[in-house]
Amino acid sequence: MNIFAGMSQADVDAHNARVSGKSPDAMNSAATPVARESQLHDEIIEFCGNQYPHWKFRHARMDRKTTEECGVEDFTIFATGNRTFHFECKAKGKKRTPEQLAWALEMRMLEHEVHCIESFSQFLAIISSPPTTTQTPHHD
């Protein structure tokens, strides 16, 4: 179920501004790539916490080297509507490592898309878009 079906982009933007607690003007500035990756992490964590029910997520720590498999994305988000999203966050001008690129390629082969984003508006656009074949619902 897509909660945004039938809504215009302006309606989606207004909804996202309401649930994130940000003004529409602040949301428009969110299109600018972040200077610090941690800023984008904080915005995503805040957004997930503002959803009802709260969106659950798996988040890689930023303060030390990962203990997970090399190349794993920054966020795996479990959203309403049986949707799961994978995000790699990057500050402006930063590139994915060869390990991150290999991980994303293997995930795509498994029909899961790892989205590489530089801004909160990119995050919002992805979560509000209709599911694609790479956003396959999980079945019991």
Model pLDDT for residues 80-117, shown as the tens digit of each residue: 999 999 999 999 999 999 999 999 999 999 999 999 99
What are residue 116's DSSP bridge partners? 88
Question: In 10 A of CB 83, how many CB atoms?
Answer: 17
Phi, psi of 21 (to 5 degrees): 75, 15
Phi, psi of 103 (to 5 degrees): -60, -50
- The CATH code of the domain at 9-128 is 3.40.1350.10
pTM value?
A: 0.72
Q: Alpha-carbon distance 103 to 97, whole Å?
A: 10
